[in-house]
């Protein structure tokens, strides 16, 4: 079992740490919030007083942070964390944050200069997946490093994908989540269309599930309240994957499109819809609440 | 086994007839093209000289026609076909054409007045499904009529859905196919985006298949040439489900939206993309050729 | 001065009648609502007990009705109005309703068979233009009929356009109003974007008015409250041209696109935005209220 | 008359220099291309061996560069140009480049620290406007600096707008050009729609010009070949404002939207259309060539 330093104990990071501990790994953890660290101490994690202390002597350093700037500052910033990490021979950084592909590539290059391994390794599956150990990981980096991190990641998830060279993990995640944003909005759109024309959304969902419109949303994450249990639509769209996070991911996808001059008519349409929805105050709801944007409000002004 | 009159022997109708014959039914067939009838005669179908002759004495009359106007004219037009059909006690009309829900409802109402059963029953699965007997049927009508037509439809397909009352079959089909149009274009869009950023489309497809972006297109009908065998993208987008037909179905969906004042931002976006694609001369290709709209043309002007 | 029969005295029809009376014409009027007729009687109009009575003996019959079905039923329906009209030698029908181009063409053809002239002649300019006599008219029909109706129309408006043969008036109107829908939403979108980034919308509007973004909306119908006086945005979006009417016109434009297989990515996007707006209960507000769809709602849920 | 240092002598910069010279100003110029400098020497400009030499002793330093990175590097990069500029008391930098608002704000802040004035001052009007001295300028900075630069700018253009504080010039430009992108595509869309339904585009254009769809594109820059003389559509879409530049400006607008979480459904739709158009090899044509994306290609495959 390995000595792991884990930095960033938010809604995702904390349950990931617990699953690593369950698998027998030794974990030093750090978060700017002491409270966040306290939550994983009962499970056996050692709280650190700084990112430096957390990373010192670790074979793997895992980070799970909100944005590219945080990752860049953590590893390349003034605390010189990457140099501390490089003191451990064969140290390997696993960044699980969802960030810009080009930032990931810059950090990877910097790590390489110090002979530290680095994989960009964003996750899919949300808080539910993090808790149940069913996350998907999309790994960008060398094949050798992929093979080293795979057993570690398998403590937290089932599907560990090798996406390709440095940055490919982030690119794959952006592609998948842009498609998810399109499909969730599209599924909401057609279910609402069926309902407006008198169809039972449960019947329509069952038909689509077995037809060419089949997709993950209709299969396991139906956006219409009352169709499925144990999904956000059954719980006033609480929990799950927030509209704000979908907007973040669609923004990362648009960044990729802009840099590569790639047209994204449906992706940008999806972004507009989630932005209109957030605009009216729904940023903290689960992203399947986009169904509500389509639903008629009978209270007329 | 039943005496069936089958009207409309195009790319879909002909193989459907063959599967009904295989199952032991007795078939009289009619098409305005004698050549089309000739193709199913070796399988045991009896050609008719008119729709009237074809329908006379049939327990079930099945129609598979290009558009709502044809269906309306066939049953309500001057040849008074519905009256001929009504001479057979318990006759039941199964219209498998993909048409406007309100036209289906008008014909159903007219049939009811003559004590003839009527179900709207559009199919999903394309020519491939028609040939292999794997079509899906979405049935709108009474539950009693649904139960009567189910064994007949099972000779031609696996999934026989009860969508609800009259018109619901057409509504379900329009919903499913609008979603299909969105998902196929969305999948093409993200695969192209990944490729432009250096990813292998096969690797990206495998990741999406096991992630939240999962859908029918990426699963069994990948639009990028070279990823899958035995799909239109492997064959210069020949065969399959034409862009023109997708445009027809999206048009039917827009009609539903217009009549019910339902917003369809992604559905109308998909329609625009297929229309731009058709515009440049690609209406006869399989609809997964929408990938080509996204792909860069390096021959600059 | 001419003997005119005017049918349809809604928000538009009534002030049009008043301007015709002011110009010295003799008017028989009809509306299904007696109350609507009463409003123009003090100005000198003669109320009729039926459309027939109204049209009898008229040199010009003008109709201003809500939809194509009304126009079709009025002229081709069971009351045989067109035959009554044909009794007056040289009678000419001026349909000012905004309807489907193909319905206009059908009515024109029917009129021609009875040797009655017919022009489709939808208007632009709204209630304000109708009251002030500043409407624009887009005329479809023969050049000879256009020359005959021009002096009549000039009593109600300034710009009398000859759009082309039968139906062209409706096509021109659909084109213009689709562009108006796009431009009003686009202007709202950029003014909101400027405001979100700290700009004064008045300053931004003044700049756009003198730059390449210049358009009718920014010029005389600013959608942001507080920029202009005497526009709906200055009056809680009351009055003006309703969202519901914009949706009607965009629907007519989509019908044209569908029939001619023409892509309309921006027109259909505009339609989606107005439909989302109506969805939340704002169908009766002026269409410039689309600005509110973009504006942030700080009351979060 | 003032001593001006002008950096960046591309398609826009060169004619701007000529107009400043005509007005009697003394100009030192610099461009990385010696050839570019040679073109304005006959008009009286003094070529410089470096940006430093060009800026030294200038009362006004004007820059006209392709992107934000160039502006940032020029003024804040290792050659310490801003310090050289600050040696002249009351020196004022006028950056006419079209760049990110936040980059403009950073450079302005840096300039302020060295007591150098700075205005962001992007232009509108294209190469034609630069040559004829009819550019529009959108100025962001202090009102005092605006008043100082106004007479200088008036040598090159007519409309000198005070947009607001630092960055506001760029924001105003992004807003205007996003609207322009929408309006040009929208105008192309409706003219194509009218043509497909049999209308003469000249007649339709004349009607729109006098109706509510009126806008700059239909007024002076018609995208349909054959309607106007002396516009790019009359010359195979050569000259004018390239698709690539429109894409750049729409990208800057999207950046603003992303940073301010502002929905831009029409702006992003326009961007997608120009990106699809560029995709097929038309990036170097004038942006009104977007009409060609809509036009039907009768050569079918």
Counted domains in chain A: 2
Same domain, D154 and D54: yes
Query: Are D265 and A278 in contact (CB < 8 Å)?
Result: no
C-alpha C227/C-alpha B114 separation (Å) is: 64
Given B165, B180, B205, which residue is the final one in a domain?
B165
What was the pLDDT predicted at C296? Answer: 87
Confidence of residue D300 (pLDDT cuts 50, 70, 90): very low
Annotated active-site residue B173? The verdict is yes
What was the pLDDT predicted at A37? Answer: 97
What was the pLDDT predicted at B78? Answer: 87
From chain B, pick out residues whose CB is under 8 angstroms from the CB of A265: 185, 189, 269, 272-273
- The residue ranking higher by pLDDT, A246 or B299, is A246
Provide the 3-class DSSP secondary structure of residue A161: strand
What was the pLDDT predicted at B240? Answer: 85
What contacts D294, CB < 8 A, 6 or more positions away? B276, B279, C262, C263, D188, D189, D192
- The pLDDT tens digits of the residues spanning C183-240 come to 999 999 999 999 999 999 999 999 999 999 999 999 999 999 999 999 999 999 998 8
Catalytic pick among B80, B89, B106, B173:
B173
What contacts C144, CB < 8 A, 6 or more positions away? none
Identify the weakest region by mean pLDDT among A46-50, B64-68, B126-130: B126-130
Residues of chain D with pLDDT > 90, as a percent, come to 92
A301 pLDDT more than 50 = no
| φ/ψ bin of D64: left (φ > 0), alpha (ψ from -120 to 50), beta (otherwise) | beta
Q: Other C-beta atoms within 10 Å of A125: how many? A: 22
What was the pLDDT predicted at A298? Answer: 46
What was the pLDDT predicted at C299? Answer: 40
What was the pLDDT predicted at D296? Answer: 87
Report yes or no on C300 lying in a domain. no
Report yes or no on B299 lying in a domain. no
Return mean pLDDT, chain A.
95
- In terms of residue numbers, what domain contains D90? 3-166
Return mean pLDDT, chain B.
95
Same domain, D145 and D183: no
What was the pLDDT predicted at C280? Answer: 92
Same domain, B122 and B35: yes
Average pLDDT over residues A33-43: 96
From chain A, pick out residues whose CB is under 8 angstroms from the CB of D268: 268-269, 271-272
Using a CB–CB cutoff of 8 Å, tell me whether D260 touches chain B: no
Contact, D40 vs D17, CB < 8 A? yes
* Partners of residue C117 on adjacent β-strands: C92
Q: Which residue among D176, D190, D191 sits closest to C208, beta carbon to beta carbon?
A: D176
Confidence of residue D262 (pLDDT cuts 50, 70, 90): very high
Catalytic pick among C18, C106, C173, C278:
C173
- Helix extents (H) in C77-215: 81-86, 101-113, 126-132, 143-153, 168-196, 201-209
Report yes or no on B300 lying in a domain. no
| φ/ψ bin of B156: left (φ > 0), alpha (ψ from -120 to 50), beta (otherwise) | alpha
> Which residue on chain D is closest to A270 by alpha carbon?
D265
Tell me how many degrees the CA angle A247-D176-C227 measures, rounded to the nearest 5.
Answer: 95
Classify the C-alpha dihedral C14-C16-C17-C19 as positive or negative.
positive
Mutate to test the interface with D, among B279, B285, B290, B299 (most CBs of D within 10 A): B279
Same domain, A56 and A127: yes
- The pLDDT tens digits of the residues spanning B12-22 come to 999 999 999 99
C-alpha A288/C-alpha D193 separation (Å) is: 36
Instruction: Identify which of D60, D181, D154, D151 has the alpha carbon closest to the alpha carbon of residue D111.
Output: D60
Same domain, A39 and A133: yes
Query: Are C267 and D183 in contact (CB < 8 Å)?
Result: no
Same domain, D189 and D125: no
Calculate helix-pair angle for D265-277, B265-277, nearest 10 degrees.
20
Same domain, B138 and B181: no
Report yes or no on C301 lying in a domain. no
Query: Are B161 and A206 in contact (CB < 8 Å)?
Result: yes
C-alpha A168/C-alpha A165 separation (Å) is: 6
D181 pLDDT more than 70 = yes
Query: Are B176 and A190 in contact (CB < 8 Å)?
Result: yes
Average pLDDT over residues D58-75: 96
Contact, A16 vs A157, CB < 8 A? no
* Residue A144, domain CATH: 3.40.50.720
Classify the C-alpha dihedral A142-A144-A145-A151 as positive or negative.
positive
B299 pLDDT more than 70 = no
What was the pLDDT predicted at D126? Answer: 82
Return mean pLDDT, chain D.
95
Q: Other C-beta atoms within 10 Å of B219: how many? A: 15
From chain A, pick out residues whose CB is under 8 angstroms from the CB of C279: 294-297
Tell me how many degrees the CA angle B86-B91-B96 measures, rounded to the nearest 5.
Answer: 110
Instruction: Identify which of C276, C296, C285, C244 has the alpha carbon closest to the alpha carbon of residue A301.
Output: C285
Cα torsion D153, D157, D158, D164 to 10°: value is -50
Confidence of residue D127 (pLDDT cuts 50, 70, 90): confident
By CB atoms closer than 10 A (0-12, 13-18, 19+), residue C30 is buried
What was the pLDDT predicted at A299? Answer: 40
> Which residue on chain D is closest to C196 by alpha carbon?
D260
CA-to-CA dists, residue A76 to A102, A104, A106, C67, D133, angstroms:
14, 12, 10, 67, 49
Report yes or no on A301 lying in a domain. no
Given C142, C165, C188, which residue is the final one in a domain?
C165
By CB atoms closer than 10 A (0-12, 13-18, 19+), residue D284 is middle
Q: How distant is the Cα of D274 from the closest Cα of chain B, in angstroms? A: 12
Tell me how many degrees the CA angle B240-B245-B249 measures, rounded to the nearest 5.
Answer: 125
From chain C, pick out residues whose CB is under 8 angstroms from the CB of A265: 265
C-alpha D197/C-alpha D220 separation (Å) is: 24
Contact, B116 vs B82, CB < 8 A? yes
- The pLDDT tens digits of the residues spanning B188-226 come to 999 999 999 999 999 999 999 999 999 999 999 999 999
By CB atoms closer than 10 A (0-12, 13-18, 19+), residue C246 is buried
Same domain, D213 and D258: yes
* Residue B267, domain CATH: 1.10.1040.10
- The pLDDT tens digits of the residues spanning B226-260 come to 999 999 999 999 988 999 999 999 999 999 999 89
ipTM: 0.94
C-alpha C19/C-alpha C134 separation (Å) is: 10
Query: Are B275 and C254 in contact (CB < 8 Å)?
Result: no
Q: Which residue among C265, C282, C298 sits closest to A301, beta carbon to beta carbon?
A: C282
Confidence of residue A78 (pLDDT cuts 50, 70, 90): confident
What contacts D263, CB < 8 A, 6 or more positions away? A272, A275, A276, A279, C189, C294, D257
Same domain, B195 and B93: no
Q: Which residue among B282, B298, B300 sits closest to D301, beta carbon to beta carbon?
A: B282
Using a CB–CB cutoff of 8 Å, tell me whether A42 touches chain C: no
What was the pLDDT predicted at C239? Answer: 82
Report yes or no on C89 lying in a domain. yes
Given B145, B165, B185, which residue is the final one in a domain?
B165
Same domain, C157 and C220: no
Contact, B216 vs A245, CB < 8 A? no
Same domain, C139 and C20: yes
pLDDT per residue of chain C (301 residues) written in tens, 0 to 9: 899 999 999 989 999 999 999 999 999 999 999 999 999 999 999 999 999 999 999 999 999 999 999 999 999 998 889 999 999 999 999 999 999 999 999 999 999 999 999 999 999 888 888 999 999 999 999 999 999 999 999 999 989 999 999 999 999 999 999 999 999 999 999 999 999 999 999 999 999 999 999 999 999 999 999 999 999 999 999 988 999 999 999 999 999 999 899 999 999 999 999 999 999 999 999 999 999 999 987 443 3
Instruction: Identify which of D175, D179, D185 has the alpha carbon closest to the alpha carbon of residue D257.
Output: D175
Residue A150: in which H helix or E strand, if any? helix A143-153
Instruction: Identify which of D42, D134, D136 has the alpha carbon closest to the alpha carbon of residue D96.
Output: D136
C-alpha B174/C-alpha B177 separation (Å) is: 5
> Which residue on chain C is closest to B255 by alpha carbon?
C255
What was the pLDDT predicted at D125? Answer: 83
By CB atoms closer than 10 A (0-12, 13-18, 19+), residue D154 is middle
What was the pLDDT predicted at D5? Answer: 98
Report yes or no on D122 lying in a domain. yes
Report yes or no on D236 lying in a domain. yes
Confidence of residue A173 (pLDDT cuts 50, 70, 90): very high
What was the pLDDT predicted at C300? Answer: 34
> Which residue on chain D is closest to A276 by alpha carbon?
D263
Same domain, C135 and C27: yes
Instruction: Identify which of A87, A98, A156, A102 has the alpha carbon closest to the alpha carbon of residue A122.
Output: A98
From chain D, pick out residues whose CB is under 8 angstroms from the CB of B265: 265
C-alpha C142/C-alpha C146 separation (Å) is: 6
pTM over 0.90: yes
Q: Which residue among C136, C208, C212 sits closest to D211, beta carbon to beta carbon?
A: C136
């Amino acid at each position: 079992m390995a000595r792991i330093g884990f930095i960033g104990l938010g809604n995702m990071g904390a349950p990931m740490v617990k699953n690593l501990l369950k698998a027998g790994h030794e974990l030093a953890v750090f978060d700017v919030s002491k409270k966040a660290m306290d939550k994983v101490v009962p499970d056996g994690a050692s709280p650190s007083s700084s990112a430096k202390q957390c990373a010192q002597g670790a074979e793997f350093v895992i980070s799970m942070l909100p944005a590219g700037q945080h990752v860049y500052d953590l590893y390349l910033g003034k605390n010189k964390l990457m140099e501390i990490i490089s003191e451990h021979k064969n140290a390997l950084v696993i960044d699980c944050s969802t960030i810009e592909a080009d930032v990931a590539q810059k950090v990877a290059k910097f790590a390489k200069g110090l002979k530290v391994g680095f994989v960009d390794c964003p996750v899919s599956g949300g808080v539910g997946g993090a808790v149940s150990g069913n996350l998907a990981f999309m790994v960008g980096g060398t094949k050798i490093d992929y093979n080293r991190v795979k057993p570690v990641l398998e403590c937290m998830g089932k599907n560990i994908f090798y996406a390709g060279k440095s940055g490919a993990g982030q690119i794959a995640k952006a592609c998948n989540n842009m498609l998810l944003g399109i499909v969730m909005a599209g599924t909401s759109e057609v279910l609402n269309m069926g309902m407006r024309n008198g169809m039972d959304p449960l019947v329509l969902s069952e038909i689509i599930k077995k037809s060419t419109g089949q997709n993950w949303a209709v299969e396991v994450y139906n956006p219409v309240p009352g169709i499925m249990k144990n999904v956000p639509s059954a719980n006033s769209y609480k929990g799950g994957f927030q509209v704000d996070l979908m907007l973040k991911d669609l923004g990362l996808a648009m960044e990729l499109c802009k840099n590569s001059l790639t047209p994204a008519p449906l992706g940008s349409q999806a972004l507009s819809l989630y932005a209109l929805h957030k605009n009216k105050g729904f940023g903290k709801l689960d992203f399947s609440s986009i169904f509500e944007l389509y639903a008629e409000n009978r209270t007329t002004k």
